Amino acid sequence: MKNTFVHKEQLEKIAAQFPTPFYLYDEKGIRENVRKLQKAFAWNSGFREYFAVKATPNPEILRIMKEEGCGVDCSSLTELMLSDAVGFHGHHIMFSSNETPPEEFVLAQKLGALINLDDFTHIDFLKETAGIPETICCRFNPGGTFQISNAIMDTPGESKYGFTREQLEEGFVKLKELGAKRFGIHAFLASNTTDDGYYPTLAGILFRTAVEIYRKTGIGISFINLSGGVGIPYRPEQKPADIEKIGEGVRKAYEEILVPAGLNDVAIFTELGRFMLGPYGCLVTKAIHEKHIYKEYIGVDACAANLLRPAMYGAYHHITVMGKENAPCDHKYDIVGSLCENNDKFAIDRMLPKIDRGDLLVIHDAGAHGHSMGYNYNGRLRSAELLLKEDATVQLIRRAETPADYFATLDFLGLFPPKD
């Protein structure tokens, strides 16, 4: 069982004002989680969390992060524009992109962002398009497989991202010759793991790499970005990551590897998205149909266009039927949306309480990579986003799309003139 951060009476009042489906985010939970992360890494004076904008690209969410002292991690032109509009500037922006169009490097340079290069050939590309900044970062791909606790978490050797070890060293030397003065290393080797050993293990790899480069080239590393990858427990029985234990593990590796090498002032960065927002957002939908054929189906007013992860990855998202939290889960359902695709299912053969038309369903852990992955297949429209504020009021932070939005890019044809 998973607890919701909103109770039935609250949700009914919200749904009376804002039609389902909609996303709802918990401001109190978000702020508490940011502070928990910062406390875990308070031992490092240069620590900064660069929130992954792609996870939840909403201005109000970004403002919360800014107020809590975070930076932002951007990977596109529009994410840079959004972050700039919210008030992030300079080294509070990390720009990590790949196959990057020239105009994106130009804007990142204009904003003074920390540019994280994904490929050796991008050094010359950046020089030609925007110039080499004094502070630069390179993404490292160690190749092979990455293992924790005897379980393979990822296969970097099959990933399209990053420099090889040899390219990394050569790249830093070349960047120094081109005028760079401060250097950073970045790596992302696992996705959505709750294994507390992930960050400390990755930190060990990057710390040793930094020491090797320093001893061989004399180039000191100013910051190391552990990127994202720390996940959340989507299933009730899963154990959550212990961020305090993770922070302590990274501290231990820091003191064992960097400090003896004289690299005792390296700043540690993270760029978490799912860990920061995932549990603090949900998709709220309403049961509108039931179907009894070879299986039992409950049709809801949300679909994969609102939350893609179950259809795309077969991902599990826990579902609470509001008001029936303590009822026996004695009905087996597929919870489905309205797309003309048979994978448009939020749950398959899920044991749940009896669901009646009109029941509100909360789909948990949708705060990251939920609304941001929405799309318009079948002409379905993206849902509203709401913020449950600390004082228990609700703020509309993104309105639901309308048919006018859907047709806006066709209005030049004169077939769909805007209506008052």
The CATH code for residues 27-277 is 3.20.20.10
As a 3-state breakdown, the chain gives helix, strand, coil percent values, each rounded to 5, of: 35, 25, 40
SS3 13: helix
Please give the share of the chain, as a percent, with pLDDT higher than 70: 95
Cα separations in angstroms, 386 against 27, 83, 352, 367 = 10, 19, 26, 11
Using one digit for the tens of pLDDT, what is the confidence trace for 2-44?
999 999 999 999 999 999 999 999 999 999 999 999 999 999 9
pLDDT bucket at 191, cuts 50 / 70 / 90: confident
Residues of the chain with CATH 3.20.20.10: 27-277
328 C-beta neighbours (distance < 10 Å), count: 10
138 C-beta neighbours (distance < 10 Å), count: 25
Output the furthest CA–CA distance in the chain (Å, rounded). 70
**Average pLDDT for 383-405:** 97
**What is the rounded CA–CA span in Å between residue 362 and residue 365?**
10
pLDDT bucket at 152, cuts 50 / 70 / 90: very low
Residues forming a β-bridge with 138: 117, 185
Burial pattern 142-156, b for ≥16 Cβ within 10 A else e, equals beeebebeeeebbeb
- Any idea which residue has 């009109």 for tokens? 358
Cα separations in angstroms, 125 against 7, 105, 176, 251 = 53, 9, 16, 36
**What is the rounded CA–CA span in Å between residue 176 and residue 9?**
61
Inform me whether the pLDDT recorded for 273 exceeds 60.
yes
- 151 or 364, greater pLDDT: 364
**Average pLDDT for 368-379:** 96
Contact 312, 352 (CB under 8 A): no
Using one digit for the tens of pLDDT, what is the confidence trace for 93-124?
999 998 999 999 999 999 999 999 999 999 99
Residues forming a β-bridge with 272: none
| Residues carrying an active site annotation | 340
SS3 271: coil
Inform me whether the pLDDT recorded for 159 exceeds 90.
no
**Average pLDDT for 185-198:** 91
Using one digit for the tens of pLDDT, what is the confidence trace for 231-260?
999 999 999 999 999 999 999 999 999 999
- Any idea which residue has 């700039």 for tokens? 84
Amino acid at 359: D
Inform me whether the pLDDT recorded for 420 exceeds 60.
no
pLDDT bucket at 1, cuts 50 / 70 / 90: confident
CA dihedral 158, 53, 203, 279 (to 10 degrees): -100
Inform me whether the pLDDT recorded for 150 exceeds 60.
no
The answer, yes or no, to whether the previous bond of 21 is cis (omega within 30 of 0) is yes
Tell me the fold of 279-411: Lyase, Ornithine Decarboxylase; Chain A, domain 1 (2.40.37)
Rg over CA atoms, the chain: 23
Token reading at 181: 């003065």
Residues of the chain with CATH 2.40.37.10: 279-411
Inform me whether the pLDDT recorded for 415 exceeds 80.
no
Token reading at 316: 């599990």
pLDDT averaged over every residue in the chain: 95
